[in-house]
Amino acid sequence: MAAVQDFNYKVALASGLRELQAGRLRKAEQQFAYLCSKFPTLPGGYRGIAKVRMEQADRPGALAALREGAAKLAKAGAHDGVVALLTEALQLDPLDFGAHRRLAAAHALASVVTDAELNPTYIVPSVFHPDAVSYTHLRAH
């Protein structure tokens, strides 16, 4: 059953990306909305909706889609997806302090940050934090 779901996810994601590249934003949005409804614990649908919103020059809508996806993934315990979506949200709006806080929490839950480092003044891992750097490097490659 998981293989069938994985196949359906990949087909819907590829279809949405094709529609997006062809400029058929409404159809792309429908495919990505399908992904969000049928596969709410995977980031592809939320990322796709954000891309559609960016094509429509709706940056706040793109940020909202990424934040919504991150919240749903966090509830499901998919912390890697949360980190990915919030990182993309911060690329769109680096001054979004709420996303910074959520990203710090996602890193903590993903065990990037040790218990000793967690305190009320902790916001995000330092760019020199060895685990955060290696984790981010692995996610990028």
Instruction: Give the number of C-alpha atoms closer than 13 A to the C-alpha of residue 73, restricted to the C-beta side.
Output: 30
The C-alpha angle 45, 47, 52, rounded to 5 degrees, equals 95
Question: CA nearest 56: which of 24, 83, 31?
Answer: 24
pLDDT band at 90 (very low <50, low <70, confident <90, very high): confident
Q: Are the C-beta atoms of 48 and 28 separated by less than 8 Å?
A: yes
| Structural domains of the chain, with CATH | 2-140 (1.25.40)
pLDDT higher than threshold 70 for residue 123? no
Model pLDDT, residue 20? 94
* Stretch among 7-16, 81-90, 114-123 having the lowest mean pLDDT: 114-123
d(CA 32, CA 18): 11
Note the helical H segments in 22-120: 25-38, 44-55, 59-76, 79-92, 97-109
pLDDT band at 52 (very low <50, low <70, confident <90, very high): very high
How crowded is residue 138: how many other Cβ atoms within 10 Å of its Cβ? 8
The pLDDT > 70 percentage for the chain reads: 74
Can you tell me the mean pLDDT for 90-98? 85
